[in-house]
């Protein structure tokens, strides 16, 4: 199996994480390892973000009420908690799974040095990666975009309903 990276990109709240969860469901948890991201809301207001592993373990990585000095917009980022969570989850997935899910390789996550190292190791390995990246790139994300194995898939209102079925077929073709 060759390394292949399927990276969804698009505006915030366009449905990238929803697509990731749908694809995981269709392919099966037994083949996928890593994490996806969920919004933390208070009624209709987004107040933070939570990362959730395939086995349901989770950690809140950012919140508007956080007193962390590390900030992205109005969110305080809990770098230490994310470090521990991502390191364990990604290293375990790298050892035991065919597909590594990384939702998201984004600005908040780039504060974590161990996360960046794990992502680098994963991209150097022989795995399929299913992930998300923001539209506006971080300098370190540009390296990922330029990899020949990277398939950047833009999600928008017109494409998002068609992408899941196509992407499931593409991922399964690579791993089977």
pLDDT digits 0-9 by tens, 1-18: 567 899 999 998 899 999
Instruction: Determine the pLDDT at residue 123.
Output: 84
Task: Assign residue 13 a region (left: φ > 0; alpha: ψ between -120 and 50; beta: otherwise).
Answer: left
* SS3 assignment, position 134: strand
Q: Can you tell me the mean pLDDT for 23-28?
A: 95
Q: Can you tell me the mean pLDDT for 44-68?
A: 95
Q: Can you tell me the mean pLDDT for 51-64?
A: 96
Tens of pLDDT along 106-165? 889 989 999 988 988 888 888 899 999 988 766 776 667 667 678 889 999 888 888 999
Of residues 20, 8, 172, the one with CA closest to residue 98: 172
Instruction: Determine the pLDDT at residue 4.
Output: 87
**Is the CB of residue 153 less than 8 Å from the CB of residue 19?**
no
């Amino acid at each position: 199996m060759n390394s292949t990276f399927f990276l969804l990109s698009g505006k915030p709240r366009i449905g990238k994480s929803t697509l990731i969860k749908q694809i995981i469901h269709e392919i099966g948890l037994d083949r996928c390892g890593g994490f996806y991201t969920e919004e933390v809301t208070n009624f209709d207001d987004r107040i933070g973000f939570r990362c959730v592993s395939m086995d349901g373990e989770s950690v809140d990585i950012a919140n508007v009420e956080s007193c962390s000095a590390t900030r992205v917009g109005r969110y305080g980022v809990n770098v230490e908690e994310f470090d521990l969570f991502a390191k364990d989850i990604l290293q375990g997935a790298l050892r035991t799974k065919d597909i590594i899910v990384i939702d998201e390789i984004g600005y908040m996550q780039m504060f974590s040095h161990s996360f960046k190292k794990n992502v680098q190791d994963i991209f150097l390995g022989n795995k399929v990666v299913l992930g998300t990246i923001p539209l506006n790139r971080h300098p370190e994300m540009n390296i990922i975009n330029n990899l020949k194995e990277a398939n950047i898939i833009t999600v928008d209102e017109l494409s998002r309903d068609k992408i899941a079925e196509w992407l499931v077929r593409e991922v399964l073709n690579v791993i089977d």
